[in-house]
């Protein structure tokens, strides 16, 4: 009786977390937003002026970072050293910096270790960039999401303009393009589709249709 692991990877703002949350809720699985972990680490690095080229500083910082999820309603509630940072990690300073910090070897090693622990014995849906390739190479079901870049930028813009009133659609488009470039070209576990991942292009699919698609893949195991 092995636990079920669903790995959802893909580009920035493809709707990974929307699908992952809906799926977890429907199946009563745990949901883990791995991107929130990298964002919280980035926030800590920004606040404490950690030099991304200084190995000692990075190691020391990682020792002082304690992350916790409180997923009471299948939304992402994350604390950084007991401080709720769920909103702040979505703001532009973090979005602009996160991919650089997520490319650091020591950071990835620590986050992957924590993520593997979370999925060790529980039914889980985790979304990110390297879940099906590195974190859970033996995941029960792997989904790789894509969508038209313009559609992605429009969706993300609508989602964040409330909290970032000065932002333009152009800014969002550029941030996504920049993160996708960094995420796919970095040396360590770059964003790439695992050979056994099912592709889901959701440019023209509603959230309900995406959920149906994913449920069809997972139900045989649940």
Please state the residue numbers annotated as binding site for ATP: 10-18
Nearer to ligand C5P, 131 or 200 (CB): 131
**50 — phi, psi (to 5°)?**
-75, 130
What tokens were used for 90? 């979505």
* Minimum CB–partner distance for residue 213 and ligand C5P (Å): 20
Count Cα neighbours of 35 within 13 Å in the Cβ-side half-sphere: 26
152 binds ligand C5P (CB under 6 A): no
* Interacting span for ligand C5P (CB under 6 A) from 56-64, 124-132, 137-145, 206-214: 124-132
Give 199's strand partners.
144
Nearer to ligand C5P, 86 or 99 (CB): 99
- Residue from 21, 129, 152, 156 touching ligand C5P (CB under 6 A): that is 129
- Residue from 35, 80, 123, 197 touching ligand C5P (CB under 6 A): that is 35
- Residue from 19, 98, 143, 147 touching ligand C5P (CB under 6 A): that is 98
DSSP string, 99-132: HHHHT-HHHHHHHHHHHHHHTSSS-EEEEESSII
Angstrom distances, CA of residue 110 to CA of 102, 119, 125, 161, 165: 11, 15, 19, 32, 34
110 binds ligand C5P (CB under 6 A): no
- Residue from 128, 153, 173, 210 touching ligand C5P (CB under 6 A): that is 128
Q: How far apart are CA 88 and CA 92, in angstroms?
A: 9
Residues of this chain that interact with ligand C5P (CB under 6 A) are 12, 34-35, 38-39, 98-99, 102, 128-131, 179, 183
């Amino acid at each position: 009786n092995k636990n079920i692991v669903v790995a959802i990877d893909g580009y920035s703002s493809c709707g990974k977390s929307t699908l992952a949350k809906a799926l977890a809720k429907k199946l009563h699985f745990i949901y883990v937003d791995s991107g929130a972990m990298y964002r919280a680490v980035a926030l800590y690095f920004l606040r404490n002026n950690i030099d991304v080229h200084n190995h000692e500083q990075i190691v020391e910082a990682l020792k002082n970072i304690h992350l916790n999820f409180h997923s009471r309603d299948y939304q992402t509630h994350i604390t950084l050293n007991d401080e709720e940072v769920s909103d702040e990690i979505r703001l532009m300073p973090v979005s602009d910096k996160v991919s650089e910090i997520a490319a650091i070897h020591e950071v990835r090693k620590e986050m992957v270790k924590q993520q593997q622990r979370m999925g060790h014995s529980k039914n889980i849906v985790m979304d990110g960039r390297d879940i099906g390739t590195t974190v859970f190479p033996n995941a029960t079901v792997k989904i790789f999401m894509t969508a038209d870049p313009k559609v992605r930028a429009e969706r993300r813009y609508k989602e964040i303009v409330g909290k970032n009133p000065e932002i333009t659609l152009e800014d969002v488009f550029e941030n996504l393009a920049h993160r996708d470039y960094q995420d796919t070209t970095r040396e360590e576990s770059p964003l790439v589709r695992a050979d056994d991942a099912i592709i889901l292009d959701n440019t023209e699919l509603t959230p309900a249709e995406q959920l149906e698609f994913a449920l069809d893949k997972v139900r045989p195991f649940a």
